[in-house]
Amino acid sequence: MTATSATWRKARKNRVVVGSGGVLLLLVVMALLGPLISPHGYLDTDFGRILHAPTATELQLFGTDDLGRDLFVRTMLGIQVTLLVAVVASIVSLAIGVLYGAVAGYVGGRVDAVMMRLVDTLYALPFIFFVILLMVVFERNFLLIFIAIGAINWLDMARIVRGQTLSLREREFVEAARLMGASTPRIILRHIAPNLIGVVVVYVTLTIPQAILVESFLSFLGLGIQEPRTSLGALVDAGVNHMEGAAWMLLIPAALLALILLCFNFLGDGLRDVFDSRHKS
């Protein structure tokens, strides 16, 4: 417990972690409160104000789209959807990856060899094309997007968790548990898993931007989030179609998407530094 709180203290002193984490927190608060403050609804069309440039009057800070809908509200909802998909998809990939990696690493031997050979095989596949196929073949719904994105991102997690487990397995406290007659599932869940939290936290922050990328890629191609719902990828797609007359439709969601991805990547890198330096000392 003390090791964890010491790590958090170190994390709070790390400028990269605090900076990127702060920006993300601010964006989340803005995305949640924005639609409540604005007088416009995300579905309200106003054909008297089609493709209006951003203005402070009537709080249309991000302008309107080709149907006269307020883009501030739509962008905030897009951020909500993008983050929701990313977090849920990351939890899916975390669950699969941690379980798979911990079992492979703890059981070891031939089982480990076969399981990791499968991971290597899957690594070589152009997964995104399968996701596209999945989206085409079945009805496009939220649940499917979560599962599909989660299912392609667990490979890295499995590898990292396996590596950690291999070294944890040889530690004294695991040996003690084994001597006291603890079963394999109990050792994995009660003794190995809690010690993986640090690594897992770091890699989840690096998995989230991957999930955001896939979601917005699909939405950009028109295969992800469907109208009238929206996400940052779908907004960028709409922006591309109107960029010559209404550059804000492209630039604002594009900039926010880039900012979110940048922050998550910096956060992950920063956290990795924090955890690594603990391992070194």
Partner 1 sequence: MLRYALLRLLGAIPTLLLVIVLAFLMVHAAPGGPFDAERALPPEIEANIARAYHLDEPLHRQFLRYVSGVVRGDLGPSYRYRDHTVGELIASAFPLSLKLGAMAMALAIVVGVVAGTVAALRQGSGVDRLVMALAMTGISIPVFVIAPVLVLFLAVKLQWLPAGWSGNAHGVRLLLPVISLALPQIAYIARLTRASMIDVLASDFVRTARAQGLGTFAIVRYHALKPAMLPVLSYMGPAIAAILTGSVVVEEIFGIPGLGQFFIRGALNRDYTLVLGIIVFYATLVILLNLIVDILYGVIDPRIRQR
**Which positions lie near partner 1, rule CB under 8 A?**
121, 123-126, 128-130, 132-138, 209, 213, 216-217, 220-223, 233, 236-237, 239-240, 243-244, 247, 250-251, 254, 257-258, 261-262, 264-266, 269
Q: How far is the CB of 108 from partner 1 (least distance, A)?
A: 19
Q: Smaller CB distance to partner 1: residue 91 or 243?
A: 243
Q: Smaller CB distance to partner 1: residue 137 or 179?
A: 137
Q: How far is the CB of 251 from partner 1 (least distance, A)?
A: 7
Q: Of 260, 279, 280, 278, which is closest to residue 21 (Cα–Cα)?
A: 260
Q: How far is the CB of 63 from partner 1 (least distance, A)?
A: 15
Q: How far is the CB of 130 from partner 1 (least distance, A)?
A: 7
Q: Smaller CB distance to partner 1: residue 83 or 168?
A: 83
| Residue length of the chain | 281
| Radius of gyration in angstroms for the set of CA atoms belonging to the chain, rounded to a whole number | 22
Q: Smaller CB distance to partner 1: residue 61 or 254?
A: 254
Spell 177-202 as b/e; 16+ CB within 10 A means b. beeeeeeeeebbeebbbeebebbbbb
Question: Which positions ≥6 away from 64 have C-beta within 8 Å?
Answer: 46, 49, 50, 51, 52, 70, 71
Query: 64 φ, ψ to 5°?
Result: -125, 165
Q: Smaller CB distance to partner 1: residue 168 or 235?
A: 235
Q: Smaller CB distance to partner 1: residue 102 or 212?
A: 212
Q: Smaller CB distance to partner 1: residue 7 or 265?
A: 265
- Look at phi and psi of residue 181 and say left if phi exceeds 0, alpha if psi is from -120 to 50, else beta: left
Q: How far is the CB of 133 from partner 1 (least distance, A)?
A: 5
Task: Report yes or no: 84 and 230 within 8 Å, Cβ to Cβ.
Answer: no
Peptide bond into 35 cis (omega under 30): no
3-class DSSP assignment, residue 205: helix
Q: How far is the CB of 275 from partner 1 (least distance, A)?
A: 18
Q: How far is the CB of 41 from partner 1 (least distance, A)?
A: 27
Q: CA 176, CA 262: separation in Å to the nearest integer?
A: 43
Q: Smaller CB distance to partner 1: residue 112 or 237?
A: 237
Beta pairing partners, 70: 64
Q: How far is the CB of 256 from partner 1 (least distance, A)?
A: 10
Q: What is the DSSP string of 48-99?
A: TSTTPPP-SGGG-TT-B-TT--BHHHHHHHHHHHHHHHHHHHHHHHHHHHHH
